[in-house]
């Protein structure tokens, strides 16, 4: 995912979901009236969520909001879009699953700030295969007593559409690594237990870890198609002359998987809605022990 401008034009559903999450959950965080806190946004993407949704929610005493992303294109776009808010708002390129975090720009920044008081992450952690290292890194980036609010996708009919397309002989050559683009919790029978177990092993107190169904209806079929395809990592592998066919096949599979998903989620959702996007999210609020346990 390295098309910042296109992503920022197609992420209405993600913005809606982050707005709701911040409205419902941000009040649980404890802010110190004395300290000028430092805040991190993991996997900030093009920065519209960081700058337009997260920043206005932070107390004015926050001295630094750092967005980071593994994609250089995203970070370049984010920095260029927010020069007026620098240096209070700044952006860095680092993989949250880096094995040598202290040697990265984010590690250096955390050292300079003496750790972050709060970490947020929206729609990013399901892209990270190495969950243990990324959670260990989030833990080490936080100060003792620091808190994190995390939202990521556990399940989606889109993942089942990837698998169906991978099993189609026409498309399998372009989708060999489909599993790498599916949430690590997609096949879990108990994502809450799996995720909270790793969090506790890394030294977090888990205040809340909750699944939530999310549904968003795009105004038009074209909007739905654009936003779905901007996230599709396989389209760039497909030869130009086959792209339209691929998109049409993918959208058909996605609609089919949506119908199955809707019937599992709720009987009220059985009515077909072609422009609806469905996700199952995990929303988590954790706190780092005052004592380091690692």
> Residues in the site for ligand SAM, rule: CB under 6 A?
1, 11, 14, 18, 43-45, 49, 69-71, 74, 95-97, 122-124, 127-128
Nearer to ligand SAM, 46 or 191 (CB): 46
Helix axes 191-201, 131-141, angle to 10 degrees: 50
DSSP state letter for 111: H
Q: How far is the CB of 35 from ligand SAM (least distance, A)?
A: 25
- What residues contact 43, with CB distance under 8 A and at least 6 apart? 68, 69, 70, 96, 121, 122, 123, 124, 125, 127
Q: How far is the CB of 92 from ligand SAM (least distance, A)?
A: 10
Q: How far is the CB of 47 from ligand SAM (least distance, A)?
A: 8
Q: How far is the CB of 124 from ligand SAM (least distance, A)?
A: 4
Helix axes 221-230, 243-265, angle to 10 degrees: 100
Nearer to ligand SAM, 45 or 184 (CB): 45
Nearer to ligand SAM, 97 or 113 (CB): 97
| Minimal CB distance residue for ligand SAM | 45
Q: How far is the CB of 85 from ligand SAM (least distance, A)?
A: 17
CA–CA distance, 119 with 146 (Å, rounded to integer): 8
Nearer to ligand SAM, 254 or 269 (CB): 254
Nearer to ligand SAM, 11 or 196 (CB): 11
- Reference 254, options 228, 215, 221, 218; nearest CA is 228
- Reference 207, options 54, 25, 76, 46; nearest CA is 25
Query: DSSP 3-state helix, strand, coil percentages of the chain (rounded to 5)?
Result: 50, 20, 30
Nearer to ligand SAM, 107 or 269 (CB): 107
Q: How far is the CB of 145 from ligand SAM (least distance, A)?
A: 24
- Reference 154, options 69, 211, 200; nearest CA is 211
């Amino acid at each position: 995912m390295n098309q910042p401008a296109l992503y920022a034009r197609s992420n209405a559903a993600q913005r809606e979901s982050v707005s709701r999450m911040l409205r419902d959950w941000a009040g649980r965080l404890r802010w110190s009236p004395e300290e000028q806190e430092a805040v991190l946004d993991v996997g900030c993407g093009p920065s519209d969520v960081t700058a337009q949704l997260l920043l206005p929610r932070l107390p004015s005493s926050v001295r630094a909001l750092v967005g980071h992303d593994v994609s250089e294109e995203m970070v370049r776009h984010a920095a260029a879009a927010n020069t007026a808010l620098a240096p209070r708002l700044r952006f860095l390129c680092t993989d949250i699953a880096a094995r040598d975090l202290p040697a990265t720009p984010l590690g250096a920044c955390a050292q300079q700030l003496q750790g972050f008081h709060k970490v947020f992450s929206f729609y990013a952690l399901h892209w990270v295969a190495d969950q243990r290292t990324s959670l260990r890194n989030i833990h080490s980036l936080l100060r003792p007593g620091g808190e994190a609010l995390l939202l990521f996708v556990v399940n989606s009919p889109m993942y089942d559409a990837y698998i169906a397309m991978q099993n189609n002989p026409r498309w399998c050559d372009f989708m060999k690594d489909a599993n790498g683009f599916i949430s690590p919790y997609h096949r879990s029978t108990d994502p809450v237990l799996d995720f909270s177990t790793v969090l506790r092993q890394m030294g977090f107190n888990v205040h809340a870890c909750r699944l939530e169904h999310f549904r968003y209806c795009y105004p038009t079929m074209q909007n739905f198609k654009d936003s779905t395809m901007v996230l599709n990592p396989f389209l760039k592998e497909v030869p130009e002359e086959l792209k339209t066919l691929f998109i049409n096949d993918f959208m058909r599979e996605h609609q089919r998987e949506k119908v199955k998903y809707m019937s599992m989620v709720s009987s009220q959702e059985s009515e077909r809605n072609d422009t609806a996007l469905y996700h199952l999210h995990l929303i988590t609020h954790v706190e780092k022990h005052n004592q380091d346990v690692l």
